[in-house]
């Protein structure tokens, strides 16, 4: 089991080990998928599933609906032309918070891209994951899962994850999907339904929403991408959801250990995590972070930004509790720090 009050903050780099895109890759995919081409009212380019969704939704025989479709195509072209000037698709949508069509089209594109990425990931049915869970043994999540369940008796499965929080900034369901199957692999006779109930009891927070419950929207099921888009929320919408904000900030404020995995420390995400501390914590929690592609030269700034999440000001002791594993992806990070995190 992990040590009590451990918070895992999960970014795109963690899902990258399963084959999902990081922020820049997702933006490029969305840019390409927004490049619809019309020729005398007929689509000549663009993702066929999105085109089919639009054609089902907007009847060409109704001029008002034709106008609505054209507005969404214009929003798509705007995203295509401007997305590379943003740090992420979320930041671009936030830039146009007053334009509801940008949010609508952006969410649709995210849902389509991420559901496709789930389908082609190493955890998908198409890649044989359901018959061979060993496919993910070379990623961080198997080491994480072993730490999660070690020390738990088979008659006490409800205890799994009761002392941790996962704050996942990703839209995908890789963590939930893998845990469900890993639990059935680890505990004899446990069904997927039982495992799903256990995983639901783990405190997992998705600040930007996710594609949806796995029993309703199966992992890698692209066909329902339009419905999945309704489960996503933008950054500007998240900050208006007090329950989500309070849950995250309470977890950060109470944490004894905080583990950042594949996280890029974007300003918007750090604002969501900031617990608005009112006092100086002279010691503070133990902090561990992956450091793949993070410049070592930014360590001081990153450390101060992290400390600001839970303390007014910093001390030498609190800063000494912040550890970056520079150059390490999540798998290597867990192999190194597992003993620092388990009881």
pLDDT of residue 44: 85
- What does the alpha-carbon distance between residue 225 and residue 227 come to, in Å, rounded to a whole number? 5
- Give the strands of the sheet with 6-10, arranged side by side: 203-205, 164-168, 6-10, 257-261, 286-291, 322-326
Three-state SS letters, 237-263: HHCCCHHHHHHHHHHHHHCCEEEEECC
CATH of domain 1-20+121-343: 3.40.50
Reported as half-sphere exposure (CB side, CA atoms, 13 A), residue 187 has a value of 24
pLDDT of residue 181: 96
pLDDT of residue 327: 96
Per-residue pLDDT 10s for the chain (343 aa) are 999 999 999 999 999 999 999 988 999 999 999 999 988 777 888 999 999 999 999 988 899 999 999 999 999 999 999 999 999 999 999 999 999 999 999 999 999 999 999 999 999 988 889 888 888 888 999 999 999 999 999 999 999 999 999 999 999 999 999 999 999 999 999 999 999 999 999 999 999 999 999 999 999 999 999 999 999 998 888 888 899 999 999 999 999 999 999 999 999 999 999 999 999 999 999 999 999 999 999 999 999 999 999 999 999 999 999 999 999 999 999 999 999 999 8
- What does the alpha-carbon distance between residue 109 and residue 50 come to, in Å, rounded to a whole number? 8
pLDDT of residue 126: 84
Residues 5-21: tens digit of each pLDDT? 999 999 999 999 999 99
The pTM for the full model equals 0.96
What are the domain boundaries of the chain? 1-20+121-343, 23-116
β-sheet bridge partners, residue 168: 10
- What does the alpha-carbon distance between residue 121 and residue 115 come to, in Å, rounded to a whole number? 10
């Amino acid at each position: 089991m992990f040590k009590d009050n451990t918070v895992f903050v999960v970014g795109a780099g963690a899902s990258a080990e399963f084959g999902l895109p990081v922020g820049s890759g997702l933006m490029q995919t969305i840019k390409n998928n927004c490049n619809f081409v019309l020729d005398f009212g007929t689509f000549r380019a663009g993702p066929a599933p999105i085109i089919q969704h639009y054609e089902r939704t907007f009847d060409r025989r109704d001029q008002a609906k034709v106008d609505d479709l054209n507005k969404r195509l214009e929003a798509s072209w705007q995203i295509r032309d401007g997305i590379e000037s943003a740090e992420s698709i979320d930041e671009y949508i936030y830039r146009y918070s007053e334009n509801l069509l940008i949010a609508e089209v952006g969410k649709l594109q995210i849902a389509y891209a991420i559901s496709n990425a789930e389908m082609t990931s190493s955890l998908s049915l198409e890649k044989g994951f359901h018959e061979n869970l060993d496919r993910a043994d070379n990623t961080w999540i198997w080491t994480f899962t072993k730490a999660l369940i070690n020390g738990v008796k088979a008659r006490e499965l409800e205890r799994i994850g009761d002392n941790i929080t996962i704050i996942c900034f990703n839209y995908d369901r890789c963590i939930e999907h893998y845990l469900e199957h890993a639990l059935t692999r680890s505990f004899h006779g446990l069904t997927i339904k039982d495992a799903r109930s256990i995983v639901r009891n783990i405190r997992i927070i998705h600040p930007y929403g996710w594609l949806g419950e796995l029993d309703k929207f199966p992992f890698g099921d692209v066909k329902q991408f339009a419905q999945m888009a309704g489960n996503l929320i933008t950054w500007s919408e998240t900050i208006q959801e007090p329950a989500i904000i309070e849950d995250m900030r309470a977890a950060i404020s109470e944490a004894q250990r905080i583990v950042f995995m594949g996280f890029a420390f974007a300003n918007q995400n750090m604002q969501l995590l900031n617990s608005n501390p009112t006092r100086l914590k002279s010691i503070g929690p133990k902090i561990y972070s992956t450091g793949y592609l993070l410049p070592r030269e930014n360590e001081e700034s990153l450390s101060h930004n992290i400390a600001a999440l839970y303390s007014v000001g910093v001390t030498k002791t609190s800063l000494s509790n912040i550890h970056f594993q520079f150059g390490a992806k999540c798998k290597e990070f867990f192999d190194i720090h597992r003993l620092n995190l388990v009881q």
